[in-house]
């Protein structure tokens, strides 16, 4: 009589042991909601290709080391602020222009792509490796945080993402206290402008770097010049420069052409009459960081530059 009892107990015990052994495998398989449906990712991917600057930033911030990336807008490699952290990395294209052969050669097990990736492009990429295309509303104050959370989940590093967000928020609070100490409340209005050869572009209040400025205590104002869902205004003429005038102007250029155009504009009477120019509060900044990059490491770099400007 004892044997049948032992046999009856053994079956549930074996099932329990198998379930315990299998549970880590189940826990290590994640379903990621993306713009083109759910994508399944297993484990912690090791060969990662990023086709969006914010994806490269987010991946490195949570401890991953991508093997491939695109160049920064207006540059020849990844943005200078992240170049050292990226290390030796293969370039596989430019924003909106991916070299599929270069991606294939890297044999990725995960591809992180931008929200603007077309469905046709996604279908091609997904044949190479699981591809995460952002399904996040752009130009919101927390867009970068939601992007980071999505990429970190795909990378199997969600816990690190929470730590990174906390670090950025603490740093922003620290800089904000300095801003509130140094700049009177009625003088914190600012515009973020990208200077192009064809004229300045006022950047949207919801642009990544503009939200970082706001978190540091500045009042960012695009004067209603930016259409809903767009990153910037139409180019302003010299006659309309007053539309971007604020107590502070953070002025970004992407390349040498932009810098040359800015130097020429500085000689124009309309530019000289800007309040920010007369008070010495037009601050030149790197456009590859301020108007192209996004992610927690970019946020920390921007906060460092704001702090330096205060001094």
pLDDT of residue 3: 39
Residue 18: pLDDT over 80: no
Q: Tens digit of pLDDT for each residue in 97-125?
A: 999 999 999 999 999 999 999 999 999 99
Which tokens hold the place of 116? 């603007």
| Contact present, 41 and 110 (Cβ < 8 Å) | yes
- Three-class HEC string of 163-204: HHHHHHHHHHHHHHHHHHHHCCHHHCEEEEEEEECCEEEEEC
Phi, psi of 201 (to 5 degrees): -110, 125
Domains and CATH numbers, the chain: 27-156 (3.40.50.1980), 181-310 (3.40.50.1980)
Summarised one tens digit per residue, pLDDT across range 25-53 is: 444 789 999 999 999 999 999 999 999 99
| pLDDT band at residue 146 under the 50/70/90 scheme | very high
Write phi, then psi, for 251 (nearest 5 degrees). Answer: -110, 115
> Can you name the residues that pair with 202 across neighbouring β-strands?
193
pLDDT score of 262: 77
Residue 24 has pLDDT above 80, yes or no: no
User: Rounded CA gap, 253 and 194, in Å?
Assistant: 6
Q: What is the full DSSP assignment across 128-147? A: TS-EEE----SSSTTHHHHH
Across the range 256-278, mean pLDDT stands at 82
Point out the least confidently predicted range of 65-79, 132-146, 263-277.
263-277
Q: How far apart are CA 49 and CA 275, in angstroms?
A: 45
pTM comes to: 0.88
- Is the pLDDT at 20 greater than 50? The verdict is no
């Amino acid at each position: 009589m004892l044997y049948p009892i032992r046999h009856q107990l053994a079956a549930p015990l074996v099932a329990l042991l198998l379930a315990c052994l299998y549970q880590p495998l189940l826990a290590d398989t994640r379903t990621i909601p993306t713009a083109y449906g759910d994508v399944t990712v297993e484990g912690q991917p090791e060969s990662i290709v990023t086709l969006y600057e914010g994806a490269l930033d987010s991946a490195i911030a949570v401890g991953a080391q991508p093997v491939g990336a695109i160049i920064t807008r207006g540059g020849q490699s990844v943005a200078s602020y992240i170049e050292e952290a990226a290390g030796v990395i293969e370039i596989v294209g430019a924003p909106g222009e991916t070299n599929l052969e270069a991606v294939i050669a890297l044999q990725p097990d995960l591809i992180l792509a931008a929200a603007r990736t077309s469905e046709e492009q996604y279908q091609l990429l997904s044949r190479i490796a699981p591809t995460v295309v952002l399904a996040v509303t752009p130009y919101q104050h927390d867009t970068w945080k939601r992007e980071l959370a999505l990429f970190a989940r795909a990378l199997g590093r969600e816990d690190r993402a929470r730590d990174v967000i906390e670090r950025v928020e603490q740093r922003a609070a620290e800089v904000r206290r300095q801003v509130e100490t140094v700049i009177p409340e009625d003088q914190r209005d600012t515009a973020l402008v990208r200077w192009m050869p064809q004229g300045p572009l006022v950047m949207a209040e919801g642009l990544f770097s503009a939200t970082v400025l706001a978190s540091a205590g500045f009042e960012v104002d695009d004067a209603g010049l930016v259409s809903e869902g767009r990153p910037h205004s139409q180019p302003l003429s010299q006659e309309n420069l007053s539309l971007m005038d604020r107590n502070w102007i953070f002025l970004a250029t992407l390349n040498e052409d932009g810098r040359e155009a800015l130097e020429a504009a500085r000689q124009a009477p309309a530019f000289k009459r800007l309040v920010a120019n007369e008070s010495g509060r037009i601050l030149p900044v790197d456009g590859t960081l301020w108007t192209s990059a996004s992610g927690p490491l970019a946020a920390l770099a921007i906060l460092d530059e704001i702090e330096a400007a205060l001094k």
